[in-house]
């Protein structure tokens, strides 16, 4: 089944404790992206990757890091989480880098709470 998977699905942590949210897709997509969703603010892009070893900042990259060492994986790293990073995080992938002809496929989401 074609899908985007994320782990963990739920995470409660404390301020300053480094964490990684994994994302993997099995559709051989070149393009991957991370969003966060917050009430009243909607979905906002954090980082994106056009291909292996190619990543760039989205609208709200502060406090996050990413890496793209393999085509299928795009982990999101929070080196020193803070309470304002409490959010619902989505990973997405697409075969079309500019989304002209195809949709983005979204993972199930990771709900992160930083105390």
Residue with smaller CB distance to other proteins, 15 or 51: 51
Distance between CA atoms of 85 and 112, rounded to whole angstroms?
8
- Tokens at residue 77, please? 């790293």
Q: 3-class DSSP state for residue 85? A: helix
Question: Are residues 89 and 75 in contact, defined by beta-carbon separation less than 8 angstroms?
Answer: no
Within residues 41-100, the interface with other proteins by CB under 8 A covers 42-43, 45, 48, 50, 56, 58-59, 88, 90, 92, 94, 96-100
Residues that bind other proteins (CB under 8 A): 31, 33, 40, 42-43, 45, 48, 50, 56, 58-59, 88, 90, 92, 94, 96-109, 111
């Amino acid at each position: 089944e074609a899908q985007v998977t994320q782990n963990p699905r739920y995470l409660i942590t404390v301020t300053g404790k480094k964490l990684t949210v994994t994302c993997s897709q099995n559709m051989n997509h070149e393009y991957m992206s991370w969003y966060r969703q917050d009430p009243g603010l909607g979905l906002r892009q954090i980082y994106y990757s056009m291909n292996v070893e190619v990543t760039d900042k989205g609208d709200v990259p502060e406090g996050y890091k990413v890496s793209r060492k393999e085509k299928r994986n795009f982990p999101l790293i929070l080196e020193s989480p803070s309470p304002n990073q409490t959010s619902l995080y989505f990973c997405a992938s697409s075969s079309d880098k500019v989304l002209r002809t195809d949709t983005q496929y979204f993972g199930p989401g990771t709900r992160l709470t930083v105390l």
